[in-house]
Chains A and B, each alone.
Chain A
Amino acid sequence: MMDNKMIVEGSLQSVDGGFSFLGRLPYYRGLGLSMIEDIQVTVDGEVQPRESVRFAVRGKTYTLDEMETCYDNRWNFGEKAQIIVLNGGLSAGSHTITFAVRNRVSYLPFVPTTKDTKDLALAA
């Protein structure tokens, strides 16, 4: 659910050492950060290493490994998190971004991965 609303349109920007966009959890509720098992970002067909991804909400930034043991913060329902990829930066222009999130949901008999792909433009 909400698959096509995960990536926030028009949110691609350059950051120190890479780029970022805004992402939402594809779920009808929020989740504690320890239950976000993986966030995979693919740019123009190239999968970005897990180590290069950062997740930021309300002024706090986490590596994906740090999130796994974070029990005092959440990715709230509909909350726009900043997804940062430290890849050295992207060229100006349009890029195809795929954003995949794997959650550990207590009541589900499987571990869902949900993804969204959008073309986002980076201003020069």
Chain B
Amino acid sequence: MSSKIKRGVSLYSYQNETFQGKMTLEDCIRVSSELGAKGIEIIGEQTFWGWPECGVAQDDVDNWHRLIAKYDCTPVSHDFMLDYKRYKGREMPFEEQVASVRNDIDFGARLGMKYIRALVSIAPEVLVAAAPYAEEKGIKILIEVHAPLHFDHPWIVRHAEAFEKSGSDALGFLPDMGMFLFSFPPVWKEKFMRIGVPKHIADYIEKAYEDRVLSEYVILNVQQMGGTGPAIAMAETMRHNAAFEPKRMLDYMPRIHNIHGKFYQMNEDCVEPSIPYDEIVKVLQQGGYEGYICSEYEGNRWIEDAEEPDSVEQVRRQQVMLAKLLGETEVPTIKTPLMAVAAE
């Protein structure tokens, strides 16, 4: 069975390498393309130095289009930030926030994107006010529904109501799969143990997560077990993460246009031990989803103190998993090792 769901990568996944200059934009696009993940999502200001305060030269935009064409890829989303705390001590005025979103709509359009991603903390009124301009430019603004928020949270419900009331189809959602965290991620537990959480407390928190115990009880229990600093911090991750159900997306399918394939670790057997991708793919297929699932590797920050992340290998494993779940017959493989390119 083949699926209409398409595979992509958010170049956020390669941040550890791009930060250090170990991978260029071309490396990121080529590797993703070789894996059959032809949809490319970026955080505009990560990929393009200068954006937004200093602007981006047309040469850089031309280079982007050249690389996208060279590797037969499709621009999917420009994730924008809207720094409404740009001014110390006062929030950016409403009209300026709307103008800032329009600026990102323009940038998304220059890059050939279908979508721009809005952070979840942005007020619905700002997005509604920017929607007519987005329609004009053929862009949809997608708010990222990300843990600790979820589709039943009143803040998200308020967005949904505002989107409906606006009557605009340029407003939608971009769910981050991290909100469906069904087990405590092993890389989190290992990191907390490295910074001093005793094993019996780490084991207790992992089990309490499994048992779906309310975070506030877990925090109190950890305190009573003698937990301090890092142990409390580990318990507090349960305030910001929970095993919400993938099927909650079904009510919102007409406005879901892109998916963040968040993952913290892909084991050698190409399984994400904490996020239920089999269930997620089933729900998306049931809901008739036809957009991209873009890999978003976020394990880097949990292991970098102990080992150098290998983001490309992690993305490869997730793409192998996704291809299998989507019923593809070919196993994604990297044809050009990074080292070979560096040696050229």
Per-residue A-contact encoding for B45-56, CB less than 8 Å = 1, 0 else: 110011001100
Stretch at the interface among A12-20, A40-48, A85-93, A100-108: A100-108
For chain A, which range describes its interface: under 10, 10 to 19, 20 to 34, or 35 or more residues?
Answer: 20 to 34
Q: Are A107 and B19 in contact (CB under 8 A)?
A: no
Chain A positions 67-81 with a Cβ under 8 Å from a chain B Cβ = 68, 71-74, 76-79
Judged by DSSP, the binding face of A is loop
Q: Are B83 and A32 in contact (CB under 8 A)?
A: yes
**Out of B19, B50, B53, which one reaches A78, CB within 8 Å?**
B19
* Residue in A24, A37, A78, A106 whose Cβ sees the most chain B Cβ within 10 Å: A106
**Out of B43, B49, B85, B304, which one reaches A76, CB within 8 Å?**
B49
Q: Are B19 and A35 in contact (CB under 8 A)?
A: no
Q: Which residues from chain A contact B84 at a C-beta distance below 8 Å?
A: 106
Q: Are B301 and A29 in contact (CB under 8 A)?
A: no
Q: Are A71 and B19 in contact (CB under 8 A)?
A: no
Per-residue A-contact encoding for B115-131, CB less than 8 Å = 1, 0 else: 00001110000000000
Q: Are B12 and A74 in contact (CB under 8 A)?
A: no
Count of B residues near A, CB < 8 Å?
Answer: 29
Chain A positions 1-29 with a Cβ under 8 Å from a chain B Cβ = 1-5, 24, 28-29
Chain B positions 310-327 with a Cβ under 8 Å from a chain A Cβ = none
> CA A106 – CA B39 in complex, angstroms?
28
Q: Are A78 and B18 in contact (CB under 8 A)?
A: yes
**Out of A31, A71, A77, which one reaches B49, CB within 8 Å?**
A77
Chain B positions 87-118 with a Cβ under 8 Å from a chain A Cβ = 87-88
Residue A112 is within 8 A (CB to CB) of chain B in the complex: no
Q: How far is the CB of B80 from chain A (nearest CB, A)?
A: 10
Q: Are A107 and B45 in contact (CB under 8 A)?
A: no
Residue A34 is within 8 A (CB to CB) of chain B in the complex: yes
Q: Are A32 and B86 in contact (CB under 8 A)?
A: yes
Q: Are B86 and A34 in contact (CB under 8 A)?
A: yes
Q: How far is the CB of B295 from chain A (nearest CB, A)?
A: 15
Q: Which residues from chain A contact B46 at a C-beta distance below 8 Å?
A: 28-30, 77
> CA A79 – CA B21 in complex, angstroms?
10
22 examples of A-B residue contacts, CB within 8 angstroms: A1-B301, A2-B16, A2-B301, A3-B304, A3-B305, A5-B20, A28-B19, A30-B46, A31-B83, A32-B83, A34-B86, A34-B88, A74-B45, A74-B54, A77-B18, A78-B19, A106-B81, A106-B83, A106-B121, A107-B119, A107-B120, A107-B121
Q: Which residues of A contact B (CB under 8 A)?
A: 1-5, 24, 28-32, 34-35, 37, 68, 71-74, 76-79, 104-107
